[in-house]
Amino acid sequence: MHSSDRDRVVLAAVVFAVLFSQLLLYPGVATLVETLGADATTSPFAETALDASMWFLVAEFAAYIAFVGVWGVASDMTGRRTPFIVVGALAGAVGYATLAVVPAVGSIPFEGVLFLRVLQGAMTIGAFSLTMTMLMDLDGGHGKNMGAAGIAIGLGAALGAPVGGQLTELDPLAPLAGAAVLLVGVGALVSVVDDRTPSTRRSARALLEGMRRRPTLSVPYVFGFVDRMTAGFFALVGTLYFQETFGLGPAMTGLLLACFFAPFALLQYPMGALSDRIGRAIPIVVGSLCYGLGILAVGAAPSVTTAALAMIAVGVLGALVSPATMALVTDIAGESERGVSMAGFNVAGSLGFLGGFLVGGTVAGTYGYDLAFLTVGGLEIAIALLAAPAFLRYGLGGSTRLTSEKSDRA
The answer to which of 80-84, 92-96, 201-205 has the lowest mean pLDDT is: 201-205
CB 99 within 8 A of CB 116: yes
End of a domain among 137, 170, 201? 201
Average pLDDT, the chain: 85
Per-residue pLDDT of 162-173, as tens digits, reads 888 889 889 999
pLDDT mean over 331-336: 80
CB 322 within 8 A of CB 283: no
C-alpha 127/C-alpha 146 separation (Å) is 16
Judgement on whether residues 267 and 320 belong to the same structural domain of the protein: yes
Judgement on whether residues 56 and 88 belong to the same structural domain of the protein: yes
CB 170 within 8 A of CB 45: no
CATH code of the domain in which 222 resides: 1.20.1250.20
Task: Identify the pLDDT of residue 395.
Answer: 62
Judgement on whether residues 279 and 197 belong to the same structural domain of the protein: no
Of the candidates 385, 233, 378, the residue with the CA atom closest to the CA atom of residue 292:
378
C-alpha 8/C-alpha 137 separation (Å) is 10
**123 has pLDDT over 90:** yes
Per-residue pLDDT of 13-36, as tens digits, reads 999 999 999 988 877 888 898 999
**205 has pLDDT over 90:** no
The parent domain of residue 240 ranges over 210-410
pLDDT mean over 42-66: 85
What DSSP assignment string belongs to 52-84?
Answer: HHHHHHHHHHHHHHHHHHHHHHHHHHHT--HHH
Judgement on whether residues 272 and 197 belong to the same structural domain of the protein: no
End of a domain among 181, 201, 221? 201
**384 has pLDDT over 70:** yes
Longest dimension (CA), the chain: 62
pLDDT mean over 306-328: 92
End of a domain among 146, 169, 201? 201
Judgement on whether residues 129 and 18 belong to the same structural domain of the protein: yes
Per-residue pLDDT of 385-407, as tens digits, reads 988 887 777 666 555 444 334 43
CB atoms near residue 200 (< 10 Å): 12
pTM of the model: 0.78
Residues 6+ apart with CB under 8 A from 178: 21, 24, 163, 164, 167
Residues 6+ apart with CB under 8 A from 400: none
Judgement on whether residues 71 and 194 belong to the same structural domain of the protein: yes
CB 288 within 8 A of CB 321: yes
Judgement on whether residues 163 and 261 belong to the same structural domain of the protein: no
C-alpha 289/C-alpha 20 separation (Å) is 29
C-alpha 59/C-alpha 44 separation (Å) is 15
Residue 250: pLDDT band (50, 70, 90) is low
Work out how many domains the chain is built from and give that number. Answer: 2
